[in-house]
């Protein structure tokens, strides 16, 4: 996708991540939707090179994927609200959660929390 060419991505994964109970396609769709939303917002606002940081970490009975952006997303915009609602509609039936907020100074963080796959019927 052309819009990603002007942005740097920093990826940090934790080697101790548990297996998660979720569709790989659903996770990919949600992460790409969030990245697209962030890249679209940064394209209009960036004066300097922009970046997105993606990190993973084990979290109790699951795993956490967090994306950190410069603070350029306007949550009052209809397209941003629709994107986040679509992401929630995809992940919540899988037992996952999507949260967002401002952390570490001015940076925006969007977090996807996924339940672990313990190999039983209950998840």
Hey, where are the domains in the chain? 2-115
Residue 56 has pLDDT above 50, yes or no: yes
The pLDDT value recorded for residue 108 is 77
Q: How far apart are CA 95 and CA 92, in angstroms?
A: 5
Confidence band (pLDDT; 50, 70, 90) for 46?
Answer: low
CA distances from 123 to 40, 46, 56, 96 (A): 36, 42, 20, 12
Model pTM? 0.72
Beta-strand pair 97-102/108-115: antiparallel
Give the architecture-level CATH label for domain 2-115.
2-Layer Sandwich (3.30)
| Residue 6 or residue 14, greater confidence | 14
- Higher local confidence (pLDDT), 119 or 4: 119
DSSP state at residue 95? T
Tell me the pLDDT band of 44, cut-offs 50, 70 and 90: low
pLDDT of residue 123: 43
């Amino acid at each position: 996708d052309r819009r990603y060419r002007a942005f740097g991505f920093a990826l940090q994964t934790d080697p101790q991540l548990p297996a998660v109970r979720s569709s790989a396609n659903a996770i990919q769709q949600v992460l790409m939707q969030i990245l697209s939303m962030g890249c679209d917002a940064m394209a209009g606002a960036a004066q300097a090179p922009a970046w997105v940081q993606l990190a993973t970490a084990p979290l109790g009975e699951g795993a956490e994927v967090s994306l950190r952006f410069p603070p350029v997303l306007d949550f009052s915009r209809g397209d941003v609200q629709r994107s986040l609602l679509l992401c929630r509609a995809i992940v919540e039936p899988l037992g996952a959660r999507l949260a967002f907020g401002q952390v570490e100074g001015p940076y925006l963080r969007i977090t996807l929390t996924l339940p672990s796959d313990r190999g039983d019927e209950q998840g």
